[in-house]
Structure 1
Amino acid sequence: MDLTLIALALPLALPVMGVIAALVWMIHGRPVLFKQLRPGLHGAPFTIYKFRTMREAKDGGPQSDRERLTRFGKILRSTSLDELPELINVIKGEMSLVGPRPLLMEYLDLYTPELRRRHDVLPGITGWAQVNGRNTADWERRFALDLWYVDHQSWLVDVKILLLTVWKVFTRDGVTQPGDPFTIENFKGLPPKHAQR
């Protein structure tokens, strides 16, 4: 299903990606793509691709993510257009269109055995957590939604998530996190009551 949908979407996606790449190059400079190691299936690392939304940090210049994020970068994030290069990851078999979002490698050591189950399936460009709160949900709820998907994954569920994603992107619902509209709070572990799970 992933490859079929990508093949159908490419005639529209490629020109859009070309325009965005040109704008990123003009506004942010090179490189156009942001690359970072993320945990994939069974926690195996892979390189994720996104359009850059921040300026490079320079000595004496802005250093925090909040300061480095540009106005154009905010637009890319709020519309999820920065995620389009992840189609490359899907074509390579490292991601799926639907699945738990691939988070940071340093989070792996903070996961309980229960949370590690989110890596029993391929990570996705969108997922059950993204259409049920996205960045407005706290980490505990996001992980609960990810695990629900792992336990209920099916073709029909994936189609439902993809359709809901289109609506969420169009309405920009759940884009910003309470307290900070620019960046997402890092995961520091779940409350103690979850430690033994």
Structure 2
Amino acid sequence: MDVLLSLLAMIVLSPFFFLIAILVRVKLGGPVIFKQKRPGYMGEIFTLYKFRTMTDERDENGELLPDHVRLTKFGKFLRSTSLDELPELFNIFIGDMSIVGPRPLLVQYLPLYNDHQKRRHEVRPGLTGLAQVCGRNSIGWEDKFNLDVQYVDNVSLILDWKIIFLTITKVLKREGIHSENTATMEPFEGTNRKGRSHEK
């Protein structure tokens, strides 16, 4: 299902790929595609592909400015509509990801996970997932990880299709795009002794 649907989607949506690529190039500059290493199935590292949504604006010391400064109105539109995620269809087609699964997070988070949180890597990461349809960036890390593991424990074709349809609804409503304090999502800082997640 992953291979067939991702191939069909890339063919059908190819005009949108071309149009978005041109707009990203004009409004944000190059490169058009944002590439980043992410952990996948069993923690194996792969290259994630997305459309670029931020500029490369830096301060006088050459450091990148905060996300909310570099995230333009056009970039916010791409994120709110999830159009920036379209290149991940290629990741799905080549087997790095699935349509449904826990979202691939940053590599630097790997040593911060406890045993429960590590279980999110027992399945392939997804374009969408249970945590995305239950709050996305508006819920805390503890809830996200619990939902990820809940998906791992209950994965099925029926659940996948339910999440797919709920994702369409969430995207149309543009819900859960931002956290309360940041333009994207709060950074994960590990867990305390009781196993609860820290957030900035």
**Is this a same-fold pair by TM over 0.5?**
yes
* CA apart distance, 1:59: 5.2
In structure 1, give the amino acid aligned to 2:73.
R
TM-score (norm 2): 0.92
* CA apart distance, 1:11: 3.6
Residue in structure 2 matched with residue 126 of structure 1 by the alignment: 128
| Mapping 1:85-164, distance limit 5 Å | 85-164=87-166
Q: Please state whether the residue corresponding to 1:31 is helix, strand or coil.
A: coil
8 Å Cα contact 2:37-2:107 kept in structure 1: yes
* CA apart distance, 1:12: 2.9
Residue in structure 1 matched with residue 10 of structure 2 by the alignment: 10
Q: Please state whether the residue corresponding to 2:179 is helix, strand or coil.
A: coil
Distance 1:193 1:149 in 2: 23
1:19 pairs with 2:30: no
Q: Please state whether the residue corresponding to 1:30 is helix, strand or coil.
A: coil
Range that drifts further, 149-158 or 170-179: 170-179
Structure 2 spans left out of the alignment, 5+ residues: none
Distance 2:13 2:191 in 1: 38
8 Å Cα contact 2:7-2:93 kept in structure 1: no
Residue in structure 2 matched with residue 166 of structure 1 by the alignment: 168
* CA apart distance, 1:168: 0.4
Listed one character per residue, the Cα deviations across residues 61-108 of structure 1 (whole Å, up to 9, x for unaligned) are 862211111110010011111000001101110000100000000100
Distance 2:184 2:160 in 1: 27
Distance 2:95 2:78 in 1: 24
8 Å Cα contact 2:120-2:149 kept in structure 1: yes
Distance 1:171 1:65 in 2: 23
Distance 2:81 2:179 in 1: 15
* CA apart distance, 1:154: 0.6
1:36 pairs with 2:36: yes
Listed one character per residue, the Cα deviations across residues 132-181 of structure 1 (whole Å, up to 9, x for unaligned) are 0111110000000000000000111100000100000001111121133x
| Mapping 1:167-182, distance limit 5 Å | 167-180=169-182, 182=183
Distance 2:10 2:42 in 1: 29
Number of matched pairs: 194
Q: Please state whether the residue corresponding to 1:144 is helix, strand or coil.
A: helix
Distance 2:56 2:136 in 1: 27
In structure 2, give the amino acid aligned to 1:49.
Y
Distance 2:68 2:92 in 1: 29
In structure 2, give the amino acid aligned to 1:98.
V
Listed one character per residue, the Cα deviations across residues 101-125 of structure 1 (whole Å, up to 9, x for unaligned) are 0000010010011111100100001
Return the match for 1:74 from 73, 76, 92: 76
8 Å Cα contact 2:137-2:179 kept in structure 1: yes
Q: Please state whether the residue corresponding to 1:130 is helix, strand or coil.
A: helix
Structure 1 spans left out of the alignment, 5+ residues: none
Distance 1:102 1:184 in 2: 13
8 Å Cα contact 1:102-1:123 kept in structure 2: yes
